[in-house]
Structure 1
């Protein structure tokens, strides 16, 4: 069997292992925290919220330690593009998603702010340790703001079924197993992605933006689509926006801290601008629809992210791939 075939198998096995182990790792962590009396609010803000970005975080660490910082940066940018242009777009096409007021006052402003910060960091196609630490440090005020705003409403962050009811010993077992498999599968995925990039003659940045990013976004797509089909998608929009914030602060920052990458100039002019553009489009759609519908509720009804915007986001994502491979 050729090395290329082994690389593709490694990528597929890596993706499957990441999805399985992330679920076990987050479940074990949440159960341990709950058993030790940590509040549901803190568990929701940290373990559960960051858990959706666990595969991206571990892949980013693994790639950076292998000297493949471009792949890690591509994973962060590509995951944000996929979350909006693929996950939200397809979910909106299935069933329009309600727009909650806190998105306009909290999540959207924070997302726009951290997106601008990412652009400043990537403008020179490098990511220095200082820039990495500043981005990662942004998690502290973010968690503080969210803690103050969500006090008394922990149910907005975590459902009962997201904190498994298990004994501490079993929870610790799944925590260790989940973490171990998470690390092993991330190494496998990064190795496979490096081989594929070399064989196709494309940069690791491109592989991170496409293969790795889409693969790590598939769990969010599956969960969002199933929620939309069942009619339980009130929090889908907020969850994806939160995931994109964490991807910039907790995923993109790590290569700069571990092994500062030097990237091709297109990382800003093409990839960041595409992510920034589709993020701005989403924010504008949410703000405009919410303002219009709340000004005339009798004729427009509840504010939602509808199928028209879903089509526009999906078209933008497809156009980005055209630019990427033209």
Structure 2
């Protein structure tokens, strides 16, 4: 019965997010909002809503480790696994706005989360600041959308309207979709968390490991589906924007709102401060040089991301069970794989910069 509730809960989460995104996207389209902004806000927030539902439920039920581990694990999963899989399907195009604004913001917020965690508690005041930051982020995106302006916005809106029937723009129907999606998320999150905790606890895993792996991957399924479909359809900027936007929303809204609702804040354990949050920061920083190289994420870069997520999952499994292979695994990663990766990225970025410097001015423009 526990396993059935776990599966049904996960299905409700995915279905709820899909319904919520569909209804909210149609409302946004009816209002004439830019597709890029829809990807960074409506789609990103909608696909992050399972994380929000899971985290709130975890906080209210006294399982705060799942709440924080869910966000950290989801952010790592989103970049390494989702971008990795999507880039393997087709090289992903990265817009200048993502490189200049959204990715640096994602890195900055990851550092902020680390700083507010140093006292081993994310308190009400920290959560309030994150929620205020969310409001400012939405305002900045609205301003950027407005500046992009008239021509791009009109052409995007016209192309969307050509594909949208009158029924799809029915306000009542879309509001029902949003409300129904939220209801499925709330119910699904409760069943999913209870099932995941029971199963993983039976297998001897801690709540933190559960949050970093099972719950994080499960609640990121909407992002997986959205980005893969976007990559297959050639909507590459949406595939990347969905991941970056989701990571930003995870920190600002999921952690922020969960902390405000937590009676005594969210406790942060030493392993999270010493390993998991720094890893999340490193993964976020790794996006910049890879995004910088030609404005695309190539297939080999996607394979690199994916292989690192597999290595991260193996580490969590070895560490949780104190497997005999853990010291050997750590040695290989620390002294061979990571240095080789850093050297490769530096060489690629250097070649890219040299190539740009040799480009004649008339061709650069």
When normalised by structure 2's length, the TM-score is 0.76
Whether 1:266 aligns to 2:271 is: yes
Q: How does 1:130-149 map to 2 (within 5 A)?
A: 130-149=125-144
Whether 1:324 aligns to 2:316 is: yes
Secondary structure at the counterpart of residue 109 of structure 1:
helix
Q: Which position in structure 1 is the counterpart of 2:340?
A: none
Return the alpha-carbon distance in structure 1 between the equivalents of residues 223 and 3 of structure 2: 22
Q: Structure 1 regions of 5+ residues with no counterpart?
A: 1-5, 291-302
Q: Structure 2 regions of 5+ residues with no counterpart?
A: 319-365
Q: Any conservation in 1 of the 2:76–2:280 contact (CA below 8 Å)? A: yes
Return the alpha-carbon distance in structure 2 between the equivalents of residues 78 and 314 of structure 1: 14
Secondary structure at the counterpart of residue 266 of structure 2:
coil
Q: Which position in structure 1 is the counterpart of 2:194?
A: 191
Return the alpha-carbon distance in structure 1 between the equivalents of residues 303 and 181 of structure 2: 37
Q: Any conservation in 2 of the 1:96–1:305 contact (CA below 8 Å)? A: yes
Structure 1 residue 322 displacement after superposition: 2.5
Q: Which position in structure 1 is the counterpart of 2:55?
A: 60
Structure 1 residue 232 displacement after superposition: 3.0
Q: Deviations over 1:213-261 (max 9, x none)?
A: 1112222222322333333323311221111111111112233222223
Are the structure 2 counterparts of residues 116 and 159 from structure 1 closer, same or farther at C-alpha, using a change threshold of 3 Å? farther
Structure 1 residue 111 displacement after superposition: 1.0
Q: Any conservation in 2 of the 1:135–1:250 contact (CA below 8 Å)? A: yes
Secondary structure at the counterpart of residue 50 of structure 1:
helix
Return the alpha-carbon distance in structure 2 between the equivalents of residues 132 and 104 of structure 1: 27
Are the structure 2 counterparts of residues 177 and 228 from structure 1 closer, same or farther at C-alpha, using a change threshold of 3 Å? closer
Q: Select the residue among 173, 182, 185 that pairs with 2:185.
A: 182
Q: Select the residue among 302, 305, 315 that pairs with 1:310.
A: 302
Structure 1 residue 15 displacement after superposition: 1.1
Return the alpha-carbon distance in structure 2 between the equivalents of residues 265 and 166 of structure 1: 50
Whether 1:283 aligns to 2:313 is: no
Q: Which position in structure 1 is the counterpart of 2:172?
A: 169
Secondary structure at the counterpart of residue 253 of structure 1:
helix
Whether 1:91 aligns to 2:96 is: no
Return the alpha-carbon distance in structure 2 between the equivalents of residues 104 and 253 of structure 1: 25
Whether 1:40 aligns to 2:33 is: yes
Return the alpha-carbon distance in structure 2 between the equivalents of residues 31 and 311 of structure 1: 34
Are the structure 2 counterparts of residues 41 and 234 from structure 1 closer, same or farther at C-alpha, using a change threshold of 3 Å? closer
Return the alpha-carbon distance in structure 2 between the equivalents of residues 53 and 213 of structure 1: 11
Q: Which position in structure 1 is the counterpart of 2:363?
A: none
Q: Any conservation in 2 of the 1:58–1:183 contact (CA below 8 Å)? A: yes
Structure 1 residue 30 displacement after superposition: 5.0
Are the structure 2 counterparts of residues 41 and 7 from structure 1 closer, same or farther at C-alpha, using a change threshold of 3 Å? same
Whether 1:212 aligns to 2:215 is: yes
Q: Any conservation in 1 of the 2:117–2:268 contact (CA below 8 Å)? A: no
Are the structure 2 counterparts of residues 27 and 221 from structure 1 closer, same or farther at C-alpha, using a change threshold of 3 Å? closer
Secondary structure at the counterpart of residue 201 of structure 1:
coil
Q: How many pairs align?
A: 305
Return the alpha-carbon distance in structure 1 between the equivalents of residues 42 and 235 of structure 2: 22
Return the alpha-carbon distance in structure 2 between the equivalents of residues 93 and 307 of structure 1: 5
Structure 1 residue 33 displacement after superposition: 6.8
Q: Select the residue among 214, 222, 226 that pairs with 2:225.
A: 222
Whether 1:119 aligns to 2:109 is: no
Q: Please, which moves more after superposition, 202-211 or 20-29?
A: 20-29
